[in-house]
Amino acid sequence: MTSQEITHAGTHNRARLCVISSLPVDLVGSETLVRLAAAAPKGSIDPVDHALYRAVKLVFEGDACGAYNGSAQSLLEVESFDPASSQRKYSLAIVRGVKFGGRSRNVAVMRGDLQSVLEASKSSGSDRALALKNAGAHIKLGRRCMGVAIADITDVSQVSSKEVLTTGEFRFQGVVVLGIGDQKCIKSPTRGGYTRIEMWPAALRVQHWLNVALIVAMSVTGYYIMNPFFGPPASEDTGYLMGLIRYIHFISGFAWIALALWRLSLTMFATTRQMQWRSLWPIYGVDDVKNLFGTVKYYLFLSKHGPHYIGHNALQQLTYTSIYVLCIIQILSGLALYGLYDQYNILWVVFSYPVHWIGIPNMRVLHAMIMFFIWVFVIFHVYFAFRADALENHGGISAMINGGVWVPTGTKPIDAPEIE
């Protein structure tokens, strides 16, 4: 048994350092990220290199066994290598023939301590925040996070790894997480030219369906409060029917407020891009505006292809964010009406204060109007969800149940690294 293998006392299970996860943020996909991280010289005795090597072998050759020898076909060809030192906590290597973005490139690879790699390379604010948040979650579990950055090199023969720092800018590519366990394959499932991407985390899916149930409950009961469409006519004894309907409306309303607070907490603590604060507002630069116009042109049939996103495109995101705003107004107007029942409590006095501005009838009309807007949104939302699933064949509908969408292998979406 070698030093990197740890045996659990009393069992025969052998647990050793292995790659737990590959978290790309920029250009390269998760498999290429591990391959770049494995850019080590032949004969390395570092257990981290062994772990990376096994992960690469499992992805590309379907085999994680065997000792490290640095010469398997699936490993990148390391031209020169400069190890990390106590002053510089990352190594530098020059590798040939890395395939991404539809072509083969020669690149300098910087890999090592996450913080040091982040400091020595360029990355967007959101990529950096995402990498640190994800790494933080793994570090809490006692795992080790390696940062990887790359820089393009035009002529490999002219450059040694010692000069690499001056040849161009390094771009941060992501984090490879190592920990004790069994090496599992980090490769995403592929089928018929499509790769499955884990898109919607379980929390978001649960919230989506709770929203559906609560919006239906509040719409039926709310509409009934406005216009009692079943039960005995008002001229007869209706018993406690309206009281029951209002009770269901209020219980659902407060459950909806709890759901909104849960969603709010996720925007702050989530480690997935599509659940964070930033994702609610899609326009940060000129490129985002250009892509927004590209999407509008595509939707108006003025161009054949629109910009490709795996999450929401800017137009979709703006619509969803507007709906969130509308839902917040709906909650506030509901609370304003509810607060009228108890004007001895300072909290309800505050919540119902806007009623002084527009009056009770207008507040009720506002609350009812927003319900109709929500209905219109739901109709379009369901139509577009089925339309997109039928046209793109990406399993978007089932993704809200099982979390995964199917994306054509080899595409480079605007909002995610390459799909491998």
Q: Which residues bind ligand HEM (CB under 6 A)?
A: 215, 218-219, 222-223, 225-226, 246, 249-250, 253-254, 256-257, 330-331, 334-335, 337-338, 364, 367-368, 371, 374
Nearer to ligand HEM, 299 or 341 (CB): 341
Nearer to ligand HEM, 165 or 220 (CB): 220
Q: Which two tokens stand for residue 286?
A: 């000129």
**Among candidates 153, 106, 139, 134, which has minimal Cα distance to 24?**
134
Decide if 400 contacts 208 (C-beta within 8 A). yes
DSSP 12-54: --EEEEEEEEEEE-SSS-HHHHHHHHT---TT---HHHHHHHH
Cβ at position 68, least distance to ligand HEM in Å? 58
**Among candidates 282, 303, 309, which has minimal Cα distance to 411?**
309
Nearer to ligand HEM, 44 or 221 (CB): 221
Reduced to 3 states (helix: H, G, I; strand: E, B; else coil), residue 326 is: helix
Cβ at position 212, least distance to ligand HEM in Å? 11
Q: Which two tokens stand for residue 253?
A: 């309303």
Q: Give the Cα separation of 36 and 76 in Å (integer).
A: 7
Decide if 76 contacts 95 (C-beta within 8 A). yes
Cβ at position 229, least distance to ligand HEM in Å? 12
Check residue 189 and report its DSSP letter. Answer: P
Q: Give the Cα separation of 73 and 335 in Å (integer).
A: 64
Nearer to ligand HEM, 223 or 298 (CB): 223
Nearer to ligand HEM, 250 or 320 (CB): 250
Cβ at position 307, least distance to ligand HEM in Å? 32
Q: Give the Cα separation of 334 and 59 in Å (integer).
A: 53
Cβ at position 389, least distance to ligand HEM in Å? 25
Check residue 188 and report its DSSP letter. Answer: P
Helix then strand then coil, in percent of the chain rounded to 5, is 50, 20, 35
Q: Which two tokens stand for residue 218?
A: 């509040």
In 10 A of CB 362, how many CB atoms? 14
Nearer to ligand HEM, 7 or 345 (CB): 345
DSSP 247-303: HHHHHHHHHHHHHHHHHHHHHHH--SGGGSGGGG----SHHHHHHHHHHHHHHTTSS
Cβ at position 227, least distance to ligand HEM in Å? 8
Q: Give the Cα separation of 176 and 17 in Å (integer).
A: 13
Nearer to ligand HEM, 372 or 383 (CB): 372
Nearer to ligand HEM, 95 or 337 (CB): 337
CA dihedral over 154, 160, 161, 164, signed as positive or negative = negative
Cβ at position 368, least distance to ligand HEM in Å? 4
Cβ at position 222, least distance to ligand HEM in Å? 2
Nearer to ligand HEM, 282 or 334 (CB): 334
**Amino acid identity, position 414:** I
Cβ at position 255, least distance to ligand HEM in Å? 9
Cβ at position 140, least distance to ligand HEM in Å? 35
Check residue 158 and report its DSSP letter. Answer: G
Cβ at position 15, least distance to ligand HEM in Å? 49
Nearer to ligand HEM, 109 or 370 (CB): 370
**Among candidates 339, 323, 335, which has minimal Cα distance to 367?**
335
Nearer to ligand HEM, 105 or 364 (CB): 364
DSSP 308-339: P-SS--HHHHHHHHHHHHHHHHHHHHHHHHHH
